Amino acid sequence: MLGEGILKGLAETARNFAGSFVSKERLTTVEYPEERSPLPEASRVFPFLLYDGTDWEAGMRCVACQICEKECPPKCIYIEKSKDKKPDYVGKPQIYPARFEIDVSVCMSCQICVEVCPFEAIKMDTDFELSTDDRFGGLLYDRKQLARSNEYYHSIHPTEAAEVDARLAEEKAKVEAKAKAAAAAKAAAPPATPAATTPAAAAPVSKPAPNATEAESK
């Protein structure tokens, strides 16, 4: 009969109306500032700089290699290298960023800086409540504002942070083992080195080249 569908529809909306007062499951709204749904672990907003230990300046992993600055598609990263050096996580002296700035109003959260960083120094944050009433300075984050501890990283991305820590520990162990082996070799056969250099000098020119690239890649 004509109008039957309208009555059915009216019944359905009435059921929804009444049901929304009775059952909590019907209401999908999360009243945001008071209650919030948990963020998924893989969520990402803007990058931050990781540091080890408690002192953000001493423990900063970034070595100002500027790869992220070059790779950043919207060019929101600005890095100035330092003149002096400080030891990195394996103890090797490295330069560090004298200035490291990210314009979060330009950043598009693509995570490319994180992908390209060879030092696990830049990671994505989950903090999205970054509104400010200062649209110029307030959105340009400097080194200090970007620095986050490794504990914080563990708290926001536990799985990823554990992997990163394992990798770094492995690398550090490798470097230490190598150093130990080198030291041991040095201690075991000090006269062997001059003997080894002589055939190397006599060898064809192409031979040191793979050695050099290997050293570079490490």
Partner 1 sequence: MLEKADQIFILLRNWLVGFLPAGWQTAAGVVLGVIGIVAVFPGLFAITTVLERKGLGRIQNRLGPNRVGPFGILQPIADAIKSLTKEDIVPRDADAVVHFLAPVFLVVVVFMGFAVLPVGRNMVLVDMDASLLFYFAMGASTEVSIFMAGWSSRNKYSLLGAMRAVAQMISYEVPLLMSSVVIVMMTGSLSLVKIVEAQNQYSYGLPHWYIFTPWGFAAFVMYAIAGTAETNRSPFDLPEGESELVAGYFTEYSGFKFALFFLGEYLGMLSISGLGATLFLGGWSAPLAVLNWVPSWIWFFAKVMLSIVVFIWVRGTLPRLRQDQLMNFAWKFVLPMTLLDLVVAAVWRFMGDGLLRWFVCSAILIGVYVAAGRWGMRSKHFGPRSYRYAE
Give the interface segment with partner 1, choosing from 17-25, 53-61, 82-90, 132-140 (CB under 8 A).
17-25
- Report the residue number, 2 or 201, with the smaller CB distance to partner 1: 2
CB of 129 to partner 1, least distance (A): 17
CB of 9 to partner 1, least distance (A): 5
Which of the 8 DSSP states describes residue 37? P
Q: Say how many residues make up the chain.
A: 218
- Report the residue number, 16 or 111, with the smaller CB distance to partner 1: 16
Helix (H) or strand (E) holding 59: helix 56-59
Question: Is the separation of the CB atoms in 167 and 175 below 8 Å?
Answer: no
The token pair at 165 is 């820590």
> Could you say which of 12, 80, 115, 176 contacts partner 1 (CB under 8 A)?
12
Q: Which of residues 18-47 bind partner 1 (CB under 8 A)?
A: 19-21, 26-29, 31
How crowded is the C-beta side of 116, counted as CA atoms within 13 Å? 15
CB of 152 to partner 1, least distance (A): 32
Placement of tokens 């009444």 in the chain: 18
